[in-house]
Amino acid sequence: MNRHIQVGVIGAGYWGPKLIRNFQEIPDAAMTMVCDLEEDRLTHIKELYPAVRATKDYREVLASDVDAVAIATPIPTHHQLAKEALLAGKHVLVEKPLTANSEQAEELVELAAQTGLTLMVGHTFEYNPAVEYLRRLVASGEMGRIYYINATRVNLGIFQPDINVVWDLAPHDVSILMFILGMVPVNVSARGGSYVQRRIHDVAYLTLHFPDEILADVRVSWLDPCKIRRITVVGSKKMVVYDDVEPTEKVKLYDKGVDVPPYSDTLEEFHLSYRYGDITTPAIPSAEPLRLECEHFLHCVRTGDKPRSDGQDGLEVVRILEAATRSLLNGGMRENVRL
Amino acid sequence: MNRHIQVGVIGAGYWGPKLIRNFQEIPDAAMTMVCDLEEDRLTHIKELYPAVRATKDYREVLASDVDAVAIATPIPTHHQLAKEALLAGKHVLVEKPLTANSEQAEELVELAAQTGLTLMVGHTFEYNPAVEYLRRLVASGEMGRIYYINATRVNLGIFQPDINVVWDLAPHDVSILMFILGMVPVNVSARGGSYVQRRIHDVAYLTLHFPDEILADVRVSWLDPCKIRRITVVGSKKMVVYDDVEPTEKVKLYDKGVDVPPYSDTLEEFHLSYRYGDITTPAIPSAEPLRLECEHFLHCVRTGDKPRSDGQDGLEVVRILEAATRSLLNGGMRENVRL
Amino acid sequence: MNRHIQVGVIGAGYWGPKLIRNFQEIPDAAMTMVCDLEEDRLTHIKELYPAVRATKDYREVLASDVDAVAIATPIPTHHQLAKEALLAGKHVLVEKPLTANSEQAEELVELAAQTGLTLMVGHTFEYNPAVEYLRRLVASGEMGRIYYINATRVNLGIFQPDINVVWDLAPHDVSILMFILGMVPVNVSARGGSYVQRRIHDVAYLTLHFPDEILADVRVSWLDPCKIRRITVVGSKKMVVYDDVEPTEKVKLYDKGVDVPPYSDTLEEFHLSYRYGDITTPAIPSAEPLRLECEHFLHCVRTGDKPRSDGQDGLEVVRILEAATRSLLNGGMRENVRL
Amino acid sequence: MNRHIQVGVIGAGYWGPKLIRNFQEIPDAAMTMVCDLEEDRLTHIKELYPAVRATKDYREVLASDVDAVAIATPIPTHHQLAKEALLAGKHVLVEKPLTANSEQAEELVELAAQTGLTLMVGHTFEYNPAVEYLRRLVASGEMGRIYYINATRVNLGIFQPDINVVWDLAPHDVSILMFILGMVPVNVSARGGSYVQRRIHDVAYLTLHFPDEILADVRVSWLDPCKIRRITVVGSKKMVVYDDVEPTEKVKLYDKGVDVPPYSDTLEEFHLSYRYGDITTPAIPSAEPLRLECEHFLHCVRTGDKPRSDGQDGLEVVRILEAATRSLLNGGMRENVRL
């Protein structure tokens, strides 16, 4: 495939136009078609990119000669659209979360395997250079044994009508956690509240238990006065904070810790020593994660390589969201991710 | 009682010297006696305050003519010392938490009622002007209905050998929550990890359910690279953040919210409107909370007034810590505060 | 003029594309022509906006039927291009600073008056909602008498080959100062250093004396590790800080001051009282200043209204930069703005 | 001198009690006498330190057997008190600035040399671990050639009745600049305003020219809504910021710069490359600078070593303050430090 990869985007609401802009700017792709149910969205896209063909019927996209389809529609439609796209022989990039439940995700994973097509989910943060830095840092062993992770992702808005805050915001943190730890959690529990809309949680707290006694706590909210996007990873040798709201110094690596003596007795606590070393803000290249994600998708389409955030990754995230939902409804009890 | 109130302090480790300094500086109190098991602590206090009598035997303090006793010893000793002090006719100020379990706290509350003596627990933050501001703000109704509260109290150190991080740090947040809401939580759940010391949790997450569907989430840790002491209260009309680490602008009141239409239908979500108004940092007088606490204790001793943080308040906090401990050990299930 | 205003942009380097994007997005303008000397810049613009005509010869733009021309070329070319454009009957928007010296600026101001055409300079910050807030605040008298202003605009890069940091960065601050005070400074002094490039100052300090003993101090640098864009206005009743780097809380109004007693004697200083009141972050609408600037330009073209940042405003700024340059070269002595 | 060094403190207003506390706490010193003109100040000190002898007549201190005298009185009295103390055979520590003019300072320096007694000035920041770090960093060459330094020291209050803001705040920055550069400036210019008190500057801007074209700009103000104490040192290889208001991360070292090509031609600017490397917050021990200063004074008294901030250092600072004052009065012209 030496020619440009022809891309069609289905859904031009909030996220779609960002995908369109990126595919438009990447040299070896051709942003060919766009589909949306609303006329004015299509008109807007046509004004920006007169060469793009617009349609209200997604089947026209699937019937066209585009090589790949990016799906940025409401979550309940992900499964059907992705399934038809794969059956039509198109490579597929689906916005997160992959589907509305795990059965749907499993079906897509299987279908992608059968057809040999690329199935990728838009876990954008896995393409964020700061998150990649964290993954390499953890993998290098420099932080020692990983103890636990705190994550906070809160803001005022944007409320969703059809999904709760767990399905809206937690996919970011869950995919980051699995990516930097290289592990899937064993179980998850969740608590939360529904304040503005009836029966739709706008605040939630998730606790995930990973193997090796690694704990992760995630706070998500649409109802906080401040925009906070912060992840703290605590290891036995070093600690690191990733603050995505910081304009330049997003990552700080702390040479801090508590040194435990090699032996232990009933008075071990008196031997603890605190270590307060340098703090380093590594120089991390600034690049738009969505651009890197789109490029990675095109690379996988071209080469057949397995995407970093492939269907299986998307399936794992959906399973965790399902388990968290069960926990929300049963009083916060731990729910196994694998039933 | 027109003369100075004579005060004895039992325990001169980390917190005791702060109590001694404050009682020393308050004009209508006389810092009379100090007791500690370690000779060098007593020597140090004597150098600073030559007029204070020092002893290694707390019974000498109880047998003396001091009017009141402040207890700043390890938690397991609180009950016995406070009980003997009350029986010896002394007014008592006990460091938080009041006792190691609720039976002990109940006994002290009853004993104080029988003897008519003042029993107060050192929930210092209830005397913090910023926390008082929050209480008045919530009570005024200016914030509307209270939805939920997030609290974070983390730092590197100071590890305790005999109690976990819940008993060490959470009393601050729990007493603040009850004070500003004017309510006792119905149930609590907790999760956490023990990383540095075996079987002693150094990281914990508490979720408290208050009446009226008010939720509170508390993060405490001895193992975080940053010192964070932050409480966010979200109401239907306003939101407020209290950041105790900020040197000057500790409280920020946000005129922010999501306005819900008075009627509702299946499309209610499309009518949500976000409100982004002014942010105000109120001028709050800076005063040392411990000084205010000590003055309040002396006031109650003199007048017989019920302390703001009385024995009952201390008992409620201990019950919540017990429930949190049960939850920590049973996988994070909700535990009722009242058994 | 009911039809769309036809706009041509000359210069498509760093700033030109931002102008092009804005004129493209404004409904009642038509982005018609673009001119640049470099082929690849034109190609890039054509890719983004296929309908725009591109040329390497600015005379084609002037000979076309565009109503207005926006000039975003190197400073030494501003005068000649703007002059020819006015003579060709075009309305003109010139990037700041208006010209390379005051004689050139005076000629353009006169030419605009003679032709009745709109001449506007791109002092973008005068269209910034936060700066407008400051202007209204100062004008309202709420701050009392204005004492002095500190401004800092520093960063690492972007070094200019043909102008120094005073001509590159100080136009922003100087235009802001004149706009919010509604005054022109009487004199200016400047000091600085040339570290990276010979004879081109990369660091400079300006002090401006305004009427009524109002002082303003401006720090500009291309050689600072941090991006700082901060202006502090101190009045007798209130003080305000505008921090353009803050993502959301850009303006903070401090109800702080020193109250001077109405009488005075030799011990007046003992009567000073400090006032520490509330701090308010006003809700300021977020809008792209350049968009507002372009809309204002189109409005003036359409109505004949005098632009906020008209040629006279641009001339005053150039006179101040000239005076600062003289001061830089004479050891930092005060130079009158009007010779 | 194996016994404790006997210390008397003259002046127990704002700074004196801090000196008293430190000398009280240092093991090998004896805080023996205190002198103040106000009875209630003496009463207060006696309450805190019953063993200290108090007097209203400084001649009693000089006539006593104290070995050393610390002077924390208003500046106009420094010279007379220090002179009499030296003549009485006492080692002397004088608060900054050393004297009210350079003739007085020269006389003290000479007198100290003649008597062989220790004369030290309280430039506290020279004993601040963060400032020591800066000095070592600059001296190591790691930053490359030093280009320039920006310093800001502003706050609301505390207004002084007898001296202006230059004499009150600038001694800190001037002594820091000379200490970290290891140089004395050649000339200085200053501008400022007198807003609250007549003829007493409450805002000032100083520019200092050091050898090797090193420039330093200092902003001082008693009339700013924010407390800022920040110093930026820019070198050809690295840049460093010292922010004294930061609670923990006071120093940040930036591996940033602009790399200039080794050759040069008319287009050199196109070869400039920006370097954005890691940022490091070094672990700097936290110690009270005044404690270190007092210990250093006692060390010099005991050993005869030359103090880091000796009389000559104090004299240089006074000369710079004098030159700045002359510049303030002559319209901001450069004034040589050495006449």
Q: What share of chain B has pLDDT > 70, as a percent?
A: 96
Residue range B93-111: mean pLDDT, rounded: 98
- The chain C residue lying nearest D216, using CA atoms, is C192
- What is the radius of gyration, based on Cα positions, of chain B? 21
Mean per-residue pLDDT of chain A: 94
Residue C129: what are its φ and ψ, rounded to 5°?
-55, -35
Contact D36, D57 (CB under 8 A): no
Residue B281 to residue C276, Cβ atoms within 8 A:
no
Res. A266 pLDDT band, cuts 50 70 90: very low
Element (H, E) at C113: helix C102-115
Contact B119, B82 (CB under 8 A): yes
pLDDT score for C2: 60
- The chain A residue lying nearest B146, using CA atoms, is A195
- The chain C residue lying nearest A21, using CA atoms, is C48
Each residue of C133-170: pLDDT tens digit?
999 999 999 999 999 999 999 999 888 888 999 999 99
Q: Is the pLDDT of residue C324 over 90?
A: yes
pLDDT score for A160: 83
Q: Is the pLDDT of residue C220 over 80?
A: yes
Helix axes C16-25, C289-303, angle to 10 degrees: 70
- For chain A, the chains sharing at least 3 beta-carbon pairs closer than 8 angstroms are B, C, D
Q: Is the pLDDT of residue A305 over 90?
A: yes
Contact C201, C136 (CB under 8 A): no
pLDDT score for C124: 97
Dist CA C191 CA D183 (whole Å)? 20
Res. D268 pLDDT band, cuts 50 70 90: very low
- Cα–Cα distances (Å) from B88 to B122, B301, B311, B315, C67, in that order, read 21, 15, 18, 22, 96
| Closest-CA residue to D213 (of D127, D147, D124) | D147
Residue range A82-105: mean pLDDT, rounded: 98
| Closest-CA residue to C147 (of A60, A72, D202) | D202
Residue D278 to residue A282, Cβ atoms within 8 A:
yes
Residue C51 to residue A50, Cβ atoms within 8 A:
yes
Q: What share of chain D has pLDDT > 90, as a percent?
A: 86
Residue C281 to residue B278, Cβ atoms within 8 A:
yes
Residue B280 to residue C276, Cβ atoms within 8 A:
no
Dist CA D201 CA D203 (whole Å)? 6
Q: Which residues, 6+ apart, have CB-to-CB distance to B173 below 8 Å?
A: B151, B153, B206, B218, B220, B231
Q: Is the pLDDT of residue C305 over 90?
A: yes
- Closest Cα of chain B to C239: distance in Å? 14
Res. A197 pLDDT band, cuts 50 70 90: confident
Q: Is the pLDDT of residue C215 over 90?
A: yes
Residue C283 to residue B278, Cβ atoms within 8 A:
yes
pLDDT score for C161: 80
Q: Which residues, 6+ apart, have CB-to-CB distance to A113 below 8 Å?
A: none
Res. A270 pLDDT band, cuts 50 70 90: low
- The chain B residue lying nearest D44, using CA atoms, is B25
Q: Is the pLDDT of residue C262 over 80?
A: no
Dist CA D273 CA D290 (whole Å)? 43
Dist CA B116 CA B300 (whole Å)? 11
Contact C255, C278 (CB under 8 A): yes
Q: Which residues, 6+ apart, have CB-to-CB distance to B71 below 8 Å?
A: B10, B11, B77, B78, B81, B82, B85, B92, B93, B94, B95
Cite the DSSP H helix spans in C141-242: 165-181
Contact A322, A329 (CB under 8 A): no
Mean per-residue pLDDT of chain B: 94
Give this prediction's pTM.
0.94
Residue D203 to residue C223, Cβ atoms within 8 A:
no
pLDDT score for C267: 46
Q: Residue D50 is nearest to which of B50, B247, B248, comparing CB atoms?
A: B50
Each residue of D122-173: pLDDT tens digit?
999 999 999 999 999 999 999 999 999 999 999 998 888 789 999 999 999 9
Each residue of D199-245: pLDDT tens digit?
899 999 999 999 999 999 999 999 999 999 999 999 999 999 999 99
Mean per-residue pLDDT of chain D: 94
Q: What share of chain D has pLDDT > 70, as a percent?
A: 96
Residue D238: what are its φ and ψ, rounded to 5°?
-140, 165
Dist CA A307 CA A288 (whole Å)? 18
Each residue of B131-190: pLDDT tens digit?
999 999 999 999 999 999 999 999 998 888 789 999 999 999 999 999 999 999 999 999
- Return the amino acid letter for A160: Q
Dist CA C4 CA A313 (whole Å)? 51
- Cα–Cα distances (Å) from A273 to A235, A261, A264, D250, in that order, read 15, 9, 14, 23
Residue range B57-63: mean pLDDT, rounded: 97
Q: Residue D223 is nearest to which of C147, C223, C264, comparing CB atoms?
A: C147
A120: three-class secondary structure by DSSP: strand
Q: Is the pLDDT of residue C273 over 80?
A: yes
Res. A269 pLDDT band, cuts 50 70 90: very low
Q: Is the pLDDT of residue C108 over 60?
A: yes
pLDDT score for B263: 56
Q: Is the pLDDT of residue C268 over 80?
A: no
D239-243 and D203-209 beta bridge pairing: unpaired
pLDDT score for B268: 43
10 Å CB burial of residue A179 (0-12, 13-18, 19+) is buried
Q: What share of chain C has pLDDT > 90, as a percent?
A: 86
Residue D281 to residue A279, Cβ atoms within 8 A:
yes
Residue range C229-241: mean pLDDT, rounded: 98
- Closest Cα of chain D to B8: distance in Å? 19
Contact B282, B133 (CB under 8 A): yes
Tokens at residue A90, please?
A: 């198109």
Residue range C25-51: mean pLDDT, rounded: 91
ipTM: 0.94
Q: Is the pLDDT of residue A78 over 70?
A: yes
| Closest-CA residue to D223 (of C9, C145, A86, A287) | C145
- Quickly tell me which residue has 């939101």 as its tokens: B239
pLDDT score for D266: 47
Q: CB pairs below 8 Å between A and B: how many? A: 149
pLDDT score for D217: 98
Each residue of A99-131: pLDDT tens digit?
999 999 999 999 999 999 999 999 999 999 999
Residue range A207-216: mean pLDDT, rounded: 98
Q: Which residues, 6+ apart, have CB-to-CB distance to A91 below 8 Å?
A: A67, A68, A69, A117, A118, A119, A297, A300, A301
- The chain C residue lying nearest B277, using CA atoms, is C283
In chain C, residues with a C-beta closer than 8 Å to the C-beta of A51 are: 50
Residue C157 to residue D234, Cβ atoms within 8 A:
no
Dist CA C274 CA A312 (whole Å)? 64
Each residue of D72-116: pLDDT tens digit?
999 999 999 999 999 999 999 999 999 999 999 999 999 999 999
State the Cα angle at D198 between D197 and D203, rounded to 5°. 60
